[in-house]
Amino acid sequence: MPTTVHDAIESCRSELYAAVLSDTLDRHGLYNQSPRAGMRLLDVSKPLCGLARVGIYMPVYHDSEELDVYGEEIDLVDSLQPNEVPVLACHGLAHIAPWGELLSTRAQVLKAGGFVTDGSVRDARMIREMGFPVVCAGTTPVDTKYRGKLVLYDVPGKIGGVDVNSGDLIFADEDGTVIVPRALIVDVVGAALAKVRAETTVRNELAAGESLRTIFTRHRIL
């Protein structure tokens, strides 16, 4: 079982999936940890796992040296540490793409865990070819210049209706995305690992012909 956040990340990548993390969060009394449907992996063969770095986007209608629409986003990306994941809350700005191939390239070099937004991305084909994990609400060719700006980062945010803070664990696979609060990462991942291993026993018993009712009564797992 993991004893550190680093161990928990490695365990997630090797053994866990979104559904079991969601079930485990339910057991901890956290019932709203999966952003709404519509935010999907750009490439479902590339699950995403890492620690959030939250950024907040706002609409703008011009650019200038004083406004510097790219400034804060450049600083956020350049500051990424291994396994960190920029999580950009765009709040309905789905018509612009705050992320593309070049930012993915820089993040990948820094060994980031991926990228998440409730907005759109562009350069989708190149990002897929790079193998960089991205969760987004869609794609568009339209840049943020003259249209949107990252105004704050490493502040509390909300994405897809779920609260998110820098340091929270973000995990995404083809079922969807799950956010684990940073204070609970080790406990939740440890409990999820135990559930996965118990589910293996249940699966074997089902395959041997036992009934769902008998097995559920025995293990309380479904």
C-alpha–C-alpha distance, residues 127 and 46, integer Å: 11
- Annotated binding residue 163: no
pTM of the model: 0.90
Tens of pLDDT, residues 192-204: 998 888 767 777 7
Both tokens of 101, joined, read 């191939």
Q: Is 157 annotated as a binding residue?
A: no
Half-sphere exposure at residue 61, Cβ-oriented, CA atoms within 13 angstroms: 0
Residue 189 — very low, low, confident or very high, per pLDDT cuts 50/70/90?
Answer: very high
Query: DSSP secondary-structure letter at 36?
Result: P
100 marked as part of a ligand binding site: yes
Domains and CATH numbers, the chain: 34-180 (3.50.30.40)
Q: 99-131 pLDDT, tens per residue?
A: 999 999 999 999 999 999 999 999 999 999 999
Report which secondary-structure segment, H or E, holds 58.
strand 48-59
Q: Is 122 within any annotated ligand binding site? A: yes
88 is in an annotated binding site: no
The predicted-structure confidence for 142-158, as pLDDT tens digits, reads as follows 999 999 999 999 999 99
15 CB-near residues (< 8 Å, 6+ apart): 193, 196
